[in-house]
Amino acid sequence: MEVTDRTRYRLSLGALTTDSRPKIFLDRGEMVARIQKRDRGAPLIVVTPHLQVIVASGRFRVEVEVQSSTVNLQEGALSVERQGRNVVLESGEKIESDDSRLQPRMKEVAAASPAENADVCAELAVEEEKKCYQDETHGSGLRAQNALYTLGLIAKEEGNSAGALSYWRTYRQKFSDGALAREAAEGILSELLRLGRNHEALVEAERFPFRSDERSAEVRLIVANLLRSDLGCSDRVLTAYQATLNAAKAGMRSRDESLYQIGLCQNELGHREEALATWNRYREEFPTGSHLADVIRLLSSH
């Protein structure tokens, strides 16, 4: 771990052990860290005044200013949480604490008839709010969808991971094509990654409701990274990275990362000529890519 002179941080007792979930409290300044793969259920947690970063493995930077925190992921995968919301980052991505994806949980589902589908539970006291949402889960419309999804967020806010997963899985079972189906799937995936339950996360990622968009490409990259973490480089891993590359459009971070990783795996498997061709393709497609310096170095060493 590297820190600047102006950095102020504290370690939890767990940071000194290997059988707990260690925490680093970063109050201000900047830290850069590379985390080796940690045991299941024991990720590193970096806590700033504005958000939490949950890391199972990877290289990342966290910067803390007075008004905000910024997380920049160089490689690996991690989850960023704030006020009950969470976002999974992939290699080359960054996020600030005021990002709209990290704002407080949604209180209502947009609908053609707001009066009919308005969230009547949101303004109640906590226990009454939960009971209200529980009552609404028995329905079949947008209010029932919102209730199940929001109960999962409430459970997550309360530290009840099992409850959050249960609500979101129930949502998926009842409303497989619902308005919040993708949000529920993302919640399940990010919670499993946060808990270090990578095998289950892989299963969930492979059943994600894919579309032709950037988020789908990012989830495919999660699949490939999880497979590589478990299996090392193999033909199956190469196929997963190729699926990411095929799904990612020009300029997407997931395309940058998958093309670079394909070259690394080809090289590791002894396919030198294919690796060189892939890295040359990377250099042409991403002249300012996040891995350009490494690609140039790898090409010059062969």
Same topology, domains 2-102 and 210-300? Answer is no
Residue 120: predicted pLDDT: 63
Would you state the structure tokens that stand for residue 141, as one six-digit string? Answer: 């419309």
Three-state DSSP at 255 gives: helix
Those residues whose C-beta lies under 8 Å from the C-beta of residue 160, and which sit 6 or more positions away, are none
Three-state DSSP at 260 gives: helix
What number is the average pLDDT over the span 200-222? 84
Going from N- to C-terminal start, the domains of the chain cover: 2-102, 114-204, 210-300
What number is the average pLDDT over the span 194-210? 86
Query: Residue 35: is its pLDDT beyond 80?
Result: yes
Residue 57 zone, left/alpha/beta (φ > 0; ψ -120 to 50; rest) = beta
- Where does the pLDDT of residue 17 fall: very low under 50, low under 70, confident under 90, or very high at 90 and above? very low
- Where does the pLDDT of residue 109 fall: very low under 50, low under 70, confident under 90, or very high at 90 and above? very low
Torsions phi, psi for 180 (to 5 deg): -115, 20
Asked if residues 28 and 57 have their Cβ atoms less than 8 Å apart, the reply is no
Q: How far is CA 219 from CA 63, 90, 296, in A?
A: 26, 9, 28
pTM (predicted TM-score) = 0.56
Residue 206 CB coordination number (10 Å): 15
Give me the percent of the chain exceeding a pLDDT of 70.
Answer: 83
Asked if residues 56 and 37 have their Cβ atoms less than 8 Å apart, the reply is yes
What number is the average pLDDT over the span 158-179? 91
Regarding the domain delimited by 2-102, which CATH topology (the fold level of the hierarchy) does it fall under?
A: Jelly Rolls (2.60.120)
Three-state DSSP at 19 gives: coil
Query: Residue 242: is its pLDDT beyond 80?
Result: yes
- Where does the pLDDT of residue 243 fall: very low under 50, low under 70, confident under 90, or very high at 90 and above? very high
- Where does the pLDDT of residue 108 fall: very low under 50, low under 70, confident under 90, or very high at 90 and above? very low
- Where does the pLDDT of residue 40 fall: very low under 50, low under 70, confident under 90, or very high at 90 and above? low
In CATH terms, the superfamily for domain 210-300 is Tetratricopeptide repeat domain (1.25.40.10)
Most distant CA atoms of the chain, gap in Å = 66
What number is the average pLDDT over the span 235-251? 91
Please tell me what DSSP assigns to residue 123.
Answer: T
- Where does the pLDDT of residue 174 fall: very low under 50, low under 70, confident under 90, or very high at 90 and above? very high
Residue 117: predicted pLDDT: 47
The secondary element (H helix, E strand) that includes residue 11 is: strand 8-11
Residue 173: predicted pLDDT: 92
Residue 90: predicted pLDDT: 83
Buried b (16+ CB within 10 A) or exposed e, 259-273: bbbbbbbbbebeeee
| Segment 58-96, tens digit of pLDDT | 889 999 886 678 999 988 888 998 877 788 888 888 898
Q: Is the dihedral of CA 180, 207, 79, 195 positive or negative?
A: positive
Three-state SS string across 162-226, please?
A: HHHHHHHHHHHHHCCCCCCHHHHHHHHHHHHHHCCCHHHHHHHHHCCCCCCCHHHHHHHHHHHHH
